[in-house]
Structure 1
Amino acid sequence: MENEQPLDGWWESARKVVSPNCDPRPTGEVSLLVIHAISLPPGQFSGNAIEALFTNQLAVDKHPFFAEIAHLRVSAHLLIRRDGECVQFVDTDQRAWHAGRSNWWDARQLSWRRALNDFSVGIELEGNDVTPYRKAQYDALVEAVVWLMARNPQLDSSRITSHAHVAPLRKTDPGPAFDWAYFQQLLTSRVEP
């Protein structure tokens, strides 16, 4: 449409790989960040399987696990690789399909909220519950969060959570290997004067 404003939620520091697994946000609200972890195949790092999953191109003959998940239509806004490289799949002004069945207590609204994809950004860290995340990943995550906060005034450090927290019976990521205190320390040093 002629009068539609172009979406501009693409982070210039990220490599762009467009996922079809997204759609418009119902209200345009971005007020929550959900941190995830992913490794494909499980426990293995590197390779292009995550990008293939998020773009519906996962080759089922490459690993037995891939046949179990190739039908999924999922994405995240950003992926932070083990070396700190950032890959963006979905414009942050769009709704990525990352949180699934989940709910979150919104202290501002004093209510439980569902359909978290409607108002959240999903960031995947290449990793798992037990392998320590790398300094380069924490540094890149902080840079991404600072950028997101600058674009979205409703988002602050109190509105960052884990996939495990919003879907505790289904998910455990980013798991005990993710150092929340270290991440918050790095973030605080960047966002507070």
Structure 2
Amino acid sequence: MAQRQQTVNIMELTEDGDWLVDVRRVLSPNCDERPAPGVISLIVVHGISLPPGEYGGPWIDDFFTNRLDVTAHPYFAEIADLRVSSHLLIRRDGELVQYVPFSRRAWHAGKSCFRGREACNDFSIGIELEGQDETSYEPAQYRQLARVIRLLRTHHPEIGAQDIVGHADIAPGRKTDPGFAFDWERLHVLLA
């Protein structure tokens, strides 16, 4: 049993560093090439639930792949024309879903700025947590997020401890996620 547990906990990147190994992949068309030099130096943490306040179901996958059924919920008509994606989603139970290879630019940040540098999509990796601003995130999500960040930082050493931010930090006044319910101190302890 201990041997199996150890095997399950291993997290790896593919040899080219583009994909997490052994996670569910749902390919999003909402991405493009990063501008040169393409150095990744930022991780942006987001929060998402579709419909708002509801968890599970296919809606996030459908949203990031432009297949959202606008008749399934009134809110979907408001967002159906958006073309967005993230590199990863961490569901409430800790499941990882990857939509975009890390070497490509996912469309997750929108109009944004970090330390005077605009267009954060150009140099960041976007990680969505299934949740919302005012609801606590799950322990499994924090554990997975910390594991992913540690792994990404080994492949992208330009990502320092201070280069892990929320969407609200790079788009203040426009975005609020991952929200006040996200426990940054808890994440920093897990990363230590």
Q: 1:120 — aligned with what?
A: 124
Q: CA offset at residue 14 of structure 1?
A: 2.3
Moved more, 116-125 or 150-159: 150-159
Instruction: Judge conservation of contact 2:17–2:155 (CA < 8 Å) in 1.
Output: no
The structural deviation recorded for 1:8 is: 4.0
Determine the C-alpha separation between the residues in 1 that align with 2:95 and 2:27: 16
What secondary structure does 1:139 align onto?
helix
CA contact (8 A) 1:104 1:114 kept: yes
Matches within 5 A, 1:122-161: 122-161=126-165
- One-letter amino acid matched to 2:179: G
Q: Secondary structure at the match of 2:190?
A: helix
Matched, 1:82 2:92: yes
Structure 2 Cα separation of the partners of residues 7 and 40 of structure 1: 32
Q: 1:178 aligns to what?
A: 182
Deviation digits for residues 36-55 of structure 1 (CA, Å, limit 9, x no counterpart): 00000001111110000000
Give the deviation of 1:156 after TM superposition: 1.9
- Alignment equivalent of 2:166, drawn from 147, 162, 167: 162
Instruction: Give 4+ residue runs of structure 1 displaced > 2 Å after superposition.
Output: none
Aligned counterpart, 2:57 = 47
Identity of aligned residues (%): 54
Matched residue type, 1:38: I
**Deviation (angstroms), 1:172:** 0.5
Where do 5+ consecutive residues of structure 1 fail to align?
1-5, 106-111, 189-193
User: Number of matched residues?
Assistant: 177
2:11 corresponds in structure 1 to none
| TM-score, with length taken from structure 2 | 0.90
Q: Deviations 1:130-178 (Å, cap 9, x if unpaired)?
A: 1110000000001110111011111121100000111111110000110
- Counterparts of 1:83 and 1:120, CA distance in 2: 25
| Structure 2 stretches lacking a partner, 5+ long | 1-14
1:30 equivalent in structure 2: 40
Alignment deviations for residues 38-83 of structure 1 (CA, whole Å, 9 cap, x no partner)? 0000011111100000000000000000011010000000000000
* Structure 2 CA distance for partners of 1:21 and 1:118, relative to 1, 3 Å: same
**Mean alpha-carbon deviation: is it higher for 8-17 or for 86-95?**
8-17
